[in-house]
Amino acid sequence: MFPDLTRDDVFRIETRRLWLRWPTARDAESVARLAGDPAVARMTARIPSPMPMHAAEDFVLRARAGNASGDGLIMALCRRASPGQAIGIVGIEPRPEASTPHLGYWLGQPYWGEGLMSEAAGAMVEAFFAYAGGRELASSAMLDNPASRRVLEKSGLVPEGEERFFSLARNAVAAAQAFRLDRAGWLAGRRHAEGLPR
């Protein structure tokens, strides 16, 4: 899915305030602490709360393997002033149950409300369509998480119905808003951002 350019662990994406880089072993502690926070984990499908250190270490190893193979691209979010300190994760990877790659993300609670995830998710969407030649991208946001829905809308994804899945942190079936963006929609959004007719 992703090209050779992204398959080396020196690859990074820079935004105005962030570095998106491959996760490293030293990020496991931040992943366990920040992602395992109940307020963060309950807004996701696959993160348990609390998150054991071994689960965070396994996540880092799987992310690096997927990045190296090009099957997906999972990046640690770091403020540009502190590139060694992961504050969240954003990634695009295949899902076994779906034919469309999925954009997933989380951000540590101390960093909420600053627009950092919108910045990171927008950069990943751009990388998917520009570098990887992506055709279509899917994502979802819990119905009780309006901030996450705004992140997806700012990134150009369009709501398209609801879906249900089992949430590990909630230990229950949860409802989410499904989102999708195809290449034509992404190109139209780029033309609009550049002031060109759609």
CATH code assigned at 96 = 3.40.630.30
The low-confidence residues of the chain, meaning pLDDT below 50, are none
pTM of this structure? 0.95
Range of the domain at 39: 4-193
Dihedral sign (CA 91, 94, 95, 101): positive
Percent of the chain with pLDDT over 90: 89
**How many angstroms separate the most distant Cα atoms in the chain?**
51
Total structural domains within the chain: 1
Distance between CA 74 and CA 173 in Å, rounded? Answer: 26
Q: Positive or negative CA dihedral for 6, 31, 112, 48? A: positive
Q: Is residue 55 within 8 Å of residue 63, measured between CB atoms? A: no
Classify residue 169: in a domain, yes or no: yes
**Residue 27 located in a structural domain:** yes
pLDDT tens across 91-139, in order? Answer: 999 998 889 999 999 999 999 999 999 999 999 999 999 999 999 999 9
Residue 98: its pLDDT value, please?
Answer: 87
* 198, part of any domain: no
pLDDT above 70 as % of the chain: 99
For residue 198, what pLDDT is reported?
A: 60
102, 84 contact by CB (below 8 A):
no
